[in-house]
Structure 1
Amino acid sequence: MKCIEKSVINPVVLATTGLLLLGSAFASSAHAQAVSYKDQTKLHDIAVAPNPENLRRDVQTLVDFGTRHTMSETESETYGIGAARRWIYDEFQRISAACGGCLEVYYSSDIIEGTPRIPNPVDVVSVVAIQRGKTDPGRYVLMSGDIDSRVTDVMDYTSESPGANDNASGVAGTLEAARILSQYEFNGSIVYAALAGEEQGLFGGEILARQALEEGWRLHAVLNNDMIGNIAGINGVIDNTTARVFAEGTRMNETEEDARRRRFTGGEVDSPSRNLARYISWMADRYIPNLDVMVVYRLDRFGRGGHHRPFNDVGFPGVRIMETNEHYDRQHQDLRNEDGRHFGDTIEYVDFDYAAKLTALNAVTLASMAWAPAPPSNVEIRGAVQPHTTLSWAPASEEDADNVAGYRIYWRYTDAPNWQFSRDVGNVTEFTLRNVVIDNYFFGVASVSKDGFESPVVFPGAAGTFDLR
C-alpha cells in the first residue's frame, strides 16, 4: 500500500526554536509539523518509581564483598566476585518470585585465558535475567551494568576494591529497573545483565553478544550503564541535572559497498546507535524532570571503552549511559589519603538521588521500546533530481502487525542534531513528501503503536537499519 501527500503549502513551525517561518524558502516542507508525541501515563509512573534507598542498599552490598576483581576469590560466600555474582543471581530470582516467575535467570560464562589481563584460565561469569515479551519475544532491548571492580594495578585481585560508583551503581540500577519493569507486561523482551570481565577486556559483553548472535536475537538497544552515581567532577563542577549518552557513528561492521553508498547518501550521524541516543534524549525531555541528556558523538570517552562496545562490534545498536562529571581520583585507584586528598571508589561519593534519576531514564526507554513496535525494516529512500521525496519500508512482522497503528516520517536539516519535522502517514509502506527536496534534509521513519508508543527513528539504508547486518 502506498500513499501520496497532496501538494499544499503551509507555514512550518520549527520545534527547536518555536519561530514561525514563512515564505517560499520553506515551501518545500509542505505539511510539516513540529515533532509531536503522545504522552504516556505509564511512563510517568515508571519514571518516579526508582528508589534511591534500594540503590544505596544494593551498592553497599556489592561494596561489602571487598573486591569484585575478575580474578578474585570465587569460593567464599562473603568475599570476592564469586559471592557477588551469586548474590546478584539470587536477587534476580527474588525479583522474579515477586512477579510470578516472570524472569528467566541464568549465568552467561566462558573460560578466558591467554590475554594481557587474563593470562591464566578464568571462568568469566555474568548474570542475565530475561523478561519475555508477550507478542514478540524474539525482539529484545537490554540494560547492563558491570560486576567487576579494580584498583590502580589492573592485575591486583586481592586488594580492597569497593567499586561503589564504578560500577556497583550500574548493577544496582539494572536490578532496580528489573524490580520496576517486572510489574508490567510488554510486547518485546527486556534483558537485564550484570556483566563480568569489563576491566579485564570487556569479556562479559563479548560472551553475551556472541550468544545473541547465535540465538538470532533481534536486539535493538543495548543500554550500558557504567558509572551513574557521581555528580562532583574533578574539574570542580557539581551537577545532578545532566547525563551523557555516548553513541558511535559509522557501524563497525560496515561493508565496502555500504561505505560507498553512505558517501553519497549520508548516514555518518544516523547510525542506529545515534538514533537510539536521540530516542533516550527524547525520553529524558518528556519523562525525567530536571535531566538534560548530552548526546556525545563518540563510541566512548576519549580513548576509553565500555561494555556496549562488544555489541557494537557485531552490529547491534548500543550506547553508554553515564554521569557527565567524572572524578578520576575515585576511579581505578588504591584506597588512600594523600595530603588531605582522598583516592578510591567508596560509597560516600555516590549520589543515590542522581543514580535513581539515571535508572529512571533507562527504565522509561526500555519500557517505551518494548511496548512500541519494532523499528521499521528495509527503509529505503528515493528522489534524486526530483521535487519530491519518497520513503518506503517493509510491512510489520506477523508478531507486530496487531500492534502497529501506523508510521511517522521525520526529517531535519543536515546540520541539525535532532529531528525537526514529522508527518503521520498512516499504516502504509510507502509515502511521498511532495515538494520536499531530498538533497536538503536527512530523513527517517518510526513505527507507532495503537497506544501511541513509538520506536526509534530509522535512517534509510544500511547505515541506519536497526536490523543486524
Structure 2
Amino acid sequence: MTSRRSLLSAAAAASLAAPARAAQAAGPRRRPPDPTLKAILREIDPHRIEAVVRRLAAFGTRHTLSSQTDPVRGIGAARDWIHQQLTAYAATSGGRMTVELQSFTQPVSPRVPTPTVITNVIATLRGSVTPERIYVVTGHYDSRATDVLDFTSDAPGADDDASGVAVVLELARVLAGREPEATLVFAAVAGEEQGLYGSDHMAQVYQNAGADIQAMFSNDIVGTGDAHDGTRPDHRTVRLFVEGVPTAETAAEATTRRSIGGENDGPSRQLGRFVKEVEPAGTDVRVVWRRDRYLRGSDHVSFLLRGYPAARFTEPRENFAHEHQDVRVVDGVQYGDLVEFCDFDYIARVAKVNAATLWSLATAPGTPKGVVVDTTQLTNQTTLRWTVGTEPDLAGYEVVWRETTAPDWTDVLPVGKVGAVTVDVSKDNVQFGVRAVDTGGHRSPAAAPRPAA
C-alpha cells in the first residue's frame, strides 16, 4: 500500500512507492561550480576590464548621433574598436565564434531627428550539442550627455555603459575557447539612450527567425558598488531586475496567471531564482521583483516585449548626479560619467556572476517546455505533464515546489526521465515547477505549469 505522500508515474501508468516526504530541500543554496567554471572565473581579469572602460571613455562621446566616420572620436570609432576586439577573441575559438555588424537605419523619432544608421556588434559562440538553444548577454556602447540630443559634448559614459560593455567583452574573451553545449551570444548594442533601438532591432531579428532564446541579460550601469554619495559602499551586491507577469502575455493569459497565484512564477522570475543558485562565492545577487527601476528601462525590455525571458543587472545604488552629465567642474567637484568613479574589481565580480549564470545555463539541459498541470478533476493530488527534451545527456526531471508565500523552491523530488507525473501534494496549496537534470548533475531553470484541460 502506498503512503499518503506517494509518487505515481502517469507516463508509465504505474505506481512508484517513492514517498514525497523524501523530497530534498531545494532552496536557493549555491550550486558549487564545476572545474571548467572554476577556471573561467579565475580568468576574469579586472585589469582587462579597466582597459576596456578607459578605451571606450577615450572616444570622447559615443552618442548614437555622433560621427560614424571619425577614426578617433564618436560612436563609429567605438563600434570599429569593439568589432576588432571581438574578432580577435573569435580567432581563438576554432571557428565556433563568429562576429557581425548588424546595421539598420532608424527612422526619425523624438530622439532621432534624422534617419540614422545604428549598428550592433554581435559575437555568437555556437553550441556544441544543442546550438538552437540560445542565451544572450548585452551591454550598450552608446553614451549621452545631459541633453539627450547633444551629440557633440564629451560624454565618456564610463559607468553607463562602458562598464556593461566591458563585462560582455571579458565574457567573450574568456569563453571563446570553450565549448558550451548551447549557443552564447555576446552583444554590444547601440541606440539604447535614444530608445532601446539597437536591442529592439536585434530582438526582432531573432523573433523573425523563430530563435529559441531561453534567457537574456542586460548589463547596464554595473560600474561600482560605491555611489560616491556618502553612503556605505557595497562591493558584493549587484541588483537583478526580473519582471513578474510576462510583458508579452495577452490579457487573458495574464488573468489566468494571476488567478492561480503565478505572478512570481513567470520565466524571468525563474531566471532570478537560477542566478541566485549559481552565483559565485564573494558575490550577492539582490533579486528585485520588478521589470526595472522607476523611470528607467534597459535593453532586456526589448526581449521581454517579444516573449523572451530577460533580466537586468545593475549596481546596488546609483549616484544620479554622475550619470548622463556633461563633463564639468562645479565648486571644485568634477561631475560626469567618468572612469574615476568606476571600481574595476567590482565590475569583475559582476562579470563572474554573468559567467557563472551563462555557463551553468549553457551546460545544463534546456528549460522544460510545455509544462502543464491537470485541472480537470477535483483531487488532492497533482498531475504534471511536459515535453521530454532531446539532449543526449538528459538524465531526467525534478519536480520542485514551495508554499505560495515562499520566494524560493523548498522541496525537490526526482521523478526520472518521464513526461508526466502525479504527486500526492495538493496543487491548491503550493506552487510547482519542473526542471531538467543531465547526467553530470547540471540543472536547468524551473518552468512553472499552466492549467491544462
Given the two structures, how large is their TM-score scaled by the length of structure 2? 0.93
Matched with 1:443 is 432
Contiguous gaps of at least 5 residues in structure 1: 9-28, 464-469
Please tell me the residue identity of whatever aligns with 1:357: R
Matched with 2:272 is 277
Query: 1:230 and 2:224 equivalent?
Result: yes
Matched with 2:6 is none
User: What is the alpha-carbon distance in structure 2 between the residues aligned to residue 72 and residue 418 of structure 1?
Assistant: 46
SS at 1:129 equivalent: strand
Q: Contact 2:215–2:309 (CA<8 Å) still a contact in 1?
A: yes
Matched with 2:447 is 458
1:437: Cα distance to partner?
1.3
Q: Which residue among 91, 97, 118 is the counterpart of 1:124?
A: 118
User: What is the alpha-carbon distance in structure 2 between the residues aligned to residue 462 and residue 375 of structure 1?
Assistant: 18
Matched with 1:268 is 263
Matched with 1:385 is 378
Q: Which residue among 310, 322, 325 is the counterpart of 2:302?
A: 310
1:180: Cα distance to partner?
1.1
Identity %: 39
Query: 1:31 and 2:22 equivalent?
Result: yes
1:229: Cα distance to partner?
1.5
Q: How does 1:48-447 map to 2 (within 5 A)?
A: 48-233=42-227, 234=229, 236-284=231-279, 288-382=280-374, 385-397=378-390, 400=391, 402-434=392-424, 436-447=425-436
Q: Contact 2:374–2:451 (CA<8 Å) still a contact in 1?
A: no
1:313: Cα distance to partner?
0.5
User: What is the alpha-carbon distance in structure 1 between the residues aligned to residue 146 and residue 65 of structure 2?
Assistant: 15
SS at 1:98 equivalent: coil
User: What is the alpha-carbon distance in structure 2 between the residues aligned to residue 462 and residue 306 of structure 1?
Assistant: 32
CA shift in 2, pair 1:4/1:185, >3 Å: farther
Please tell me the residue identity of whatever aligns with 1:409: V
User: What is the alpha-carbon distance in structure 2 between the residues aligned to residue 96 and residue 357 of structure 1?
Assistant: 24
Q: Contact 1:4–1:431 (CA<8 Å) still a contact in 2?
A: no
Matched with 2:17 is 6
1:213: Cα distance to partner?
0.7
Structural RMSD (CA): 1.7
Please tell me the residue identity of whatever aligns with 2:258: R
Please tell me the residue identity of whatever aligns with 1:6: A
1:54: Cα distance to partner?
0.5
User: What is the alpha-carbon distance in structure 1 between the residues aligned to residue 145 and residue 15 of structure 2?
Assistant: 61
SS at 1:355 equivalent: helix
User: What is the alpha-carbon distance in structure 2 between the residues aligned to residue 462 and residue 118 of structure 1?
Assistant: 44
User: What is the alpha-carbon distance in structure 1 between the residues aligned to residue 15 and residue 78 of structure 2?
Assistant: 58
User: What is the alpha-carbon distance in structure 2 between the residues aligned to residue 67 and residue 263 of structure 1?
Assistant: 45
1:432: Cα distance to partner?
1.7
CA shift in 2, pair 1:226/1:462, >3 Å: farther
User: What is the alpha-carbon distance in structure 2 between the residues aligned to residue 56 and residue 4 of structure 1?
Assistant: 59
Please tell me the residue identity of whatever aligns with 1:326: E
1:327: Cα distance to partner?
1.1
Please tell me the residue identity of whatever aligns with 2:350: L
SS at 1:48 equivalent: helix
Deviations 1:272-292 (A, max 9, x none): 0111111111111xxx22211
User: What is the alpha-carbon distance in structure 2 between the residues aligned to residue 358 and residue 405 of structure 1?
Assistant: 31
User: What is the alpha-carbon distance in structure 1 between the residues aligned to residue 321 and residue 87 of structure 2?
Assistant: 35
Runs of 4+ residues over 4 Å off in structure 1: 36-39
1:32: Cα distance to partner?
2.1
Deviations 1:131-167 (A, max 9, x none): 0111211110001000101111010001111101110
1:114: Cα distance to partner?
1.8
User: What is the alpha-carbon distance in structure 2 between the residues aligned to residue 4 and residue 419 of structure 1?
Assistant: 25
Please tell me the residue identity of whatever aligns with 1:78: V
Aligned residues: 436
Q: State which drifts further: 317-326 or 260-269.
A: 260-269
User: What is the alpha-carbon distance in structure 1 between the residues aligned to residue 47 and residue 100 of structure 2?
Assistant: 26
1:311: Cα distance to partner?
0.5
Please tell me the residue identity of whatever aligns with 2:363: W
User: What is the alpha-carbon distance in structure 2 between the residues aligned to residue 411 and residue 41 of structure 1?
Assistant: 30
SS at 2:281 equivalent: coil
User: What is the alpha-carbon distance in structure 2 between the residues aligned to residue 298 and residue 462 of structure 1?
Assistant: 24
Q: State which drifts further: 73-82 or 31-40.
A: 31-40
Q: Contact 2:283–2:353 (CA<8 Å) still a contact in 1?
A: no
Q: State which drifts further: 259-268 or 166-175.
A: 259-268
